[in-house]
Amino acid sequence: MRSEPIVSATNVDVFYGSLQALWNVSFFVDDGEMVCLLGVNGSGKSTCLKAVCGLIRARTGEITLSGKRINDLQTDQIVDRGLVLVPERRRLFPYLTVKENLLVAATPKRARKLEKERLDLVYSLFPKLYERQSQLSYSLSGGEQQMVSIGRGLMSNPILLMLDEPFLGLSPRVRDEVSVALTQLNQGGLAILFIEQSLVASAAISHRAYILDAGRVVWNGSSTDLMADRATTEAYFGFKANVSGSERSPTCS
Amino acid sequence: MLELKIISQALAVGVFIGLTYALVTLGFSLTFGIMRVINFAHGAFVMGGMYLALKTFQDLGMSPYFAVIFAIPIASAVGGAVYRLVFVPASGRPLETQFILGLGLAIFFENAALYLFGADIVAVNIDLSTHRVAVADVGISAAQLIAGCASVFMIAVVAFVIYRTAFGRQVRAVAQDPQAAQMCGIKVHRVNMAAFALGVTTAAIGGVLLIPFTAVSPPIGLAFSLKAFIVLVVAGVGTVPGLLVAGLFLGITESLTAAYLPSAWAQVFELVAVVLLLIVRPQGLFGRETW
Amino acid sequence: MIDKSQAPNSRAKWPGYLARKWQIGVAIFALVALPVVPYVNDPYWVTLISATLMAAYLNIVWNWAGGFAGLLSLGHAAFFGIGGYTAAVLLHQYDVNPWLGMVAGATVATVSGAAVALAAFRFKVRGFYFALLTFTAALVLPAMVKTSSFLGATEGIFLPLKDDVTQLQMFDRRFFFWTYYIMILVALVVTVAIDRSSLGRQLRAVKGDEDAAESLGVPAARLRVIIMSLSAGFTGLAGTVYTFQTLLAHTETTFDTGRFFLVIISTMIGGLGTVAGPLIGAFFLTGVRELIDKVPVSSQKAAAVSMMVYGLLLIGVGIMFPRGIVGMVEGVGGFIGSLPGRGRKHTATVSAAQYRSPIVAESAGIGFGRTKDDTPELVVTGLTKRFGGLLAVDDVSFKLYKGEIVVLIGPNGAGKSTILEICSGFLKPDAGVVTFKGKKISGQPPHKVNRMGIGRTFQKTRPFENLTILENVLVAAGLRSANTTEATAKAMECLRLVGLVPQPGPEALGSYLSTGQRKRLEIARVLATDAGILLVDEPFGGLDERSQGPLIDLLRYLRHTGCGIVLVEHKLSVVEAVADRVIALDSGRVIQEGTPQEVLQNREVIEAYLGGAGELVKPAPNRH
């Protein structure tokens, strides 16, 4: 018997005005899992995460958190219940310090009392942030900003951490650091759902993967199966043409 | 010698009125910084405070300053209601629309005042209005002194709330990126509503402080909105020191102009000065784009 | 070769176009029905409708600036007053015939509008600040008039009463009805002409994103000056007529700013930036006032109540129908159109399959009319740019030949983007010269640089979100085509070349596109400008692996057609795939130039850019 997944989306359709972005999409994340959404630009990956955290409404279908329907909740209410999204392009509050950025994310009730512990956790995960805690966040480098953004997600004491392209624009070294941090968090029991464009990078750290294409889920299964599935990788990632020396998977220890 | 006396007199009055203008602009600046709304109804709340004080004085026979006791709950409630009924449904609409909403509110409040209180220009004269506080030859009325000092105190209180408390942190987060703030679990509308109500309350208190030396009539609301706009343009958004300096600039310009030119020129002069300033420094003297 | 099934004019449904059509219908209906009014023989109605017609006329001409161009002018009262006072003074002091005075008033107002617009653009006064500037003008002018006895000071100028058409007066009330009626007809014809022409599209583009419009060769400043002086002139004309109707030029009535608050309010209620909205708004407001007048209260209270209702209406419309009554009607129409079985659904997402055959155009023989030769096209000499104390570009020189791709590489802040900004006219260099085909382009405004044949894309994409994909490209194509058919054909070709047609299709709105699609739209737009040289800033940033191949193919194809390309790029795989030459920059200086192999294996380059690992890895930002 499988237990209830933390989050599950069933037959979800999403529209932007009259344009349909998701067509009958279903996916789920189990406790302690690390799951990846893959696909080309514009295939609907970000829309999936936005739908889960209430930034855009699903027109049909159901999204549940531990079996309870959350379709109609506001984003802040969803964060209150433990689902948090680390958005694409970080979206830090530029004129708040690193520490203020982190503290302001401990607003939900579930996190307020744990403020100190969560802050310690983030600083231990990314010691660089401790050094820079009173710096205004716009003056940080791209990698540090990504760390603050992830840290902000962690401050809300989530049960599922969702990340939209956490590795975008990061240098290989920072990529590795972030990737290690995510793996550590996952091993500590936190469920993670993330978006990535690079197949190799994501397969290395995730348990399972979904491939989206033109707003539909076209493949799902374990990451090891995906790497072995030549036909699928070729169809959706143009594997032959584009795996070059410049795109390397992060090594994780 | 007479010349010097007129100028220093005008300067002294300008400084204390200018500080009050800074207080009046504080809420306007908060609203713009947080919700990106040029709220042309802001001056109407100043006018509301003034009428409240007028009624306290006329009908209850109390000192107009007692009106602060009524102003705080009434202004908070009105501010909350306006935010809930007008700005929540309109959130996410383009800037033009928000501008129109402010204009609509301003028109509504001005004519509501016209309906309730009539078009007469009314002044409140109490002892403090005429009691002179003088250093050497230069003197101002006690009411002006009270208004300036109370304004500085209020501004300090609000600045403390914004920069030193958890609520203030949330306010600033919402100002800088409302969607990201929501993704951090912040109740954006609740924070906005509180900040908006705070802004309305400071405006109303500003009105109460002004009434002993400023006559009130319905159109004064729009005039104060224009003043707040000028102060904000000069100061830039999100800066308390800028607000104080710009408030002083306006107050002093006004009282100096009034000493030498017919009153219609005061506004013209301010606007021309502001347009010139804009040309030199489009972002205002101190500001950045957000709180 | 145009695939007919994809050409937009063959589509049955094009919502924007249809919407404008019904609006014109409403306008025609209103204008055909109105001439009945003078024969109702009730002077009250004739006067009321005449006043409404003037308000509607003012709405329509204000909307050209406020709606189409996004110039929220609060100063039209000044132009109205200038027109009125000019004609009054000419008649009163110099005995000039009112009809001539009318022309003179309109002319002076036109010149004033141009002056205000020029001053605003010279000093980059925009948005709310533009509103403030124009409002200042509207306050300053009457204050000045009050001090001049020649202009009647506070008394005003009274005009003699005559019953003579040649004196622009008649006792018959219907005279002014017909005058305003004809003025409205003219104004509406102009409105439709603006809306339909490429001028209207360009204005919307400028309103949406001025820089992006300029980069496509749209002379934004000139357009705004034109529309502002046109609007001011027509407003001044109304000022002259109004002055002869009331026989008085007075600071309180002729310069009445309140009138223009109502203009703004009713235009907003009708629908800002629409064709029929201003007309509908004016009549709507009159209707509301008539209804309120029926309420039995004292006149002052009635005025207050009617203004309270206007305020509430404005709020209600602002909340529910931001595009006014016109937007509301379109909303209903759109809802019917979206019902099941009507219209087709569009997908907002992208399939990997779309990338399979991106360049079909090469075989179809699409040329952009370029010839080959061997002199350098773009010559950059000694370019230097400072930002405060920071030396962003330091004595940079390079050449670009026809049919060549030069890639600028370097760590963040090395000055690559700044060089592109200078070459495209968005920044002026502190020293040095950029020439294109022997002509100096540095220091020229962006739209001129583009007209000379240099196109650019933006690192952070800037589509016109309020326009469809096709209209986005038409902004550029329309400037260079004889007619709409030709422009549309060209725009469709460019869209097909970058793979935005057939999916997501020409009528998707710019705001619906994904990152990759936005990047391709920018390239389509810049292709439609016929640029011989493309300056492309990080087109691969944020693109997935699958999208990179087609874009590489596109760049190679453009090179094949004779295009010279300057590319800023971070991804080394891309650099190796497309570069003919690579220029490596660090701290604003050229540290190495040569073939990709030479540059990428140079020690200095590796240390500055690749982090000293001595190994080709994905470039990192320079900050760690």
Residue B164 at interface with chain A, using a CB cutoff of 8 Å: no
Q: Which residue has the tokens 């000055």?
A: C415
Average pLDDT over residues C297-324: 81
Higher-pLDDT residue of C121 and A74 is A74
Q: Please check whether residue A172 is in contact with residue A182, taking contact to mean a CB–CB distance below 8 angstroms.
A: no
Residue-wise pLDDT tens digits, A4-14: 899 999 999 99
Question: How far is B33 from B288, CA to CA, in rounded Å?
Answer: 10
Q: Decide if C346 and A20 are in contact by the 8 Å CB cutoff.
A: yes
What is the SS3 assignment for C580? coil
pLDDT at C477: 87
pLDDT of the residue at A245? 37
> Closest Cα of chain C to B90: distance in Å?
5
Report residue C298's pLDDT band, with 50, 70 and 90 as the boundaries: low
Beta strands in C308-377 (DSSP E): 346-347
pLDDT at residue C126 is higher than 90: no
Q: What is the pLDDT of residue C6?
A: 36
B279 contacts chain C (CB < 8 A): yes
Q: Does residue B96 belong to the interface with chain C, where contact is any CB pair within 8 Å?
A: yes
Check whether C606 has a pLDDT greater than 90: no
In Å, what is the CA distance from A243 to each residue of A233, B235, C220? 11, 54, 44
Give CA–CA dist C398/C417, Å, rounded: 15
Looking at chain C, the whole-number percentage of residues with pLDDT higher than 70 is 84
CB contact under 8 A, A93 and B177: yes
Q: Does residue B237 carry a pLDDT above 70?
A: yes
The tens digit of pLDDT for each residue in C143-192 reads 888 877 788 777 888 888 777 777 777 667 778 888 898 999 899 999 98
DSSP string, chain B: -HHHHHHHHHHHHHHHHHHHHHHHHHHHHHHHHHH----TTHHHHHHHHHHHHHHHHHHS-S-GGGHHHHHHHHHHHHHHHHIIIIITTTTTS-HHHHHHHHHHHHHHHHHHHHHHH-S--B----HHHH-EEEETTEEEEHHHHHHHHHHHHHHHHHHHHHHHSHHHHHHHHHHH-HHHHHHTT--HHHHHHHHHHHHHHHHHHHHHHHGGGS-B-TTHHHHHHHHHHHHHHHH-BT-HHHHHHHHHHHHHHHHHHHHHS-THHHHHHHHHHHHHHHHH-TT-SS-BS--
Provide the pLDDT for residue A120: 95
Distance CA C549, CA C553 (A): 6
Q: Which of A19, A199, A241 sits opposite C347 (nearest CB)?
A: A19
Instruction: Name the nearest CA neighbour of C140 among B278, B265, B262.
Output: B265
Facing A168 at nearest CB: one of C504, C542, C621: C542
Q: What is the DSSP secondary structure assignment for residue C8, as one 8-state letter?
A: G
Instruction: Report the complex ipTM.
Output: 0.86
Q: Which of C13-17, C36-40, C400-404 has the highest mean pLDDT?
A: C400-404
- Predicted confidence at residue C198, as pLDDT, reads 82
Distance between CA atoms of residues A135 and C606, nearest Å: 31
List phi, psi (to 5°) of A191: -75, 140
- Check residue B279 and give its pLDDT: 72
3-state secondary structure of C621: coil
Q: What is the pLDDT of residue A239?
A: 52
Interface contact C315-B108, CB threshold 8 A: yes
List, for residues C68-113, the tens digit of each pLDDT value.
888 888 889 999 999 999 999 998 888 888 889 999 999 999 999 9
Q: Does C571 touch chain A (CB under 8 A)?
A: yes
DSSP symbol at C165:
G
> What pLDDT is attached to residue C437?
87
Question: Percent of chain C beyond pLDDT 90?
Answer: 17
pLDDT tops 60 at residue A224:
yes
The Cα of A103 is separated from the nearest Cα of chain B by a number of Å equal to: 8
Tens of pLDDT along A6-41? 999 999 999 877 678 899 999 999 999 999 999 877
The string of pLDDT tens digits covering residues C529-585 is 888 899 998 888 767 666 777 788 888 888 888 888 999 887 777 888 888 899 988
The closest of A226, A213, A36 to C356, measured between CA atoms, is: A213
Mutate to test the interface with B, among A49, A55, A74, A75 (most CBs of B within 10 A): A75
Which candidate, C24, C37, C275, places its Cα nearest to that of C176?
Answer: C37
With contact defined as beta carbons under 8 Å apart, do C485 and C535 qualify? no
- Please give the pLDDT value at position C240: 93
Q: Which residues contact C493 (CB under 8 A, 6 or more apart)?
A: C2, C361, C366
The string of pLDDT tens digits covering residues A163-182 is: 998 988 777 778 888 999 99
* In the predicted structure, residue C617 carries a pLDDT above the cut 90: no
First CA to last CA distance, chain C: 51
Q: What element of type H or E holds A194?
A: strand A191-195
**Is residue A140 predicted with pLDDT exceeding 80?**
yes
pLDDT of residue C80: 95
Separation CA C276–CA C30 (nearest Å): 10
Chain C residues interacting with chain B (CB cutoff of 8 angstroms)? 72, 123-125, 127-129, 132-133, 135-136, 139-140, 143, 146, 261, 264-265, 268, 272, 300-301, 303-305, 307-308, 310-315, 317-320, 322
Q: What is the DSSP string of C410-466?
A: -STTSSHHHHHHHHTTSS--SEEEEEETTEE-TTS-HHHHHHHTEEE--SS----TT
Asked whether the beta carbons of residue A95 and residue B288 sit closer than 8 angstroms, the reply is yes
Q: Residue C493: what pLDDT?
A: 87
| pLDDT higher than 50, residue C367 | no
Per DSSP, the three-state class of A119 is helix
pTM for the structure as a whole: 0.78
Residue of C89, C109, C204 lying closest to C158 (CA atoms):
C89
pLDDT tens figures, A91-112: 999 999 999 999 999 999 899 8
Chain A contact partners (≥3 CB pairs within 8 A): B, C
**Within the 395-434 window of chain C, which residues sit less than 8 Å (CB to CB) from chain A?**
none
Which among C62-66, C89-93, C334-338 has the top mean pLDDT? Answer: C62-66
Task: Select the more confidently predicted residue: B291 or C410.
Answer: C410
- Least confident range of B160-164, C299-303, C312-316, C376-380: C299-303
> Mean pLDDT for chain C?
80
Question: Which pLDDT value is given to residue B25?
Answer: 95
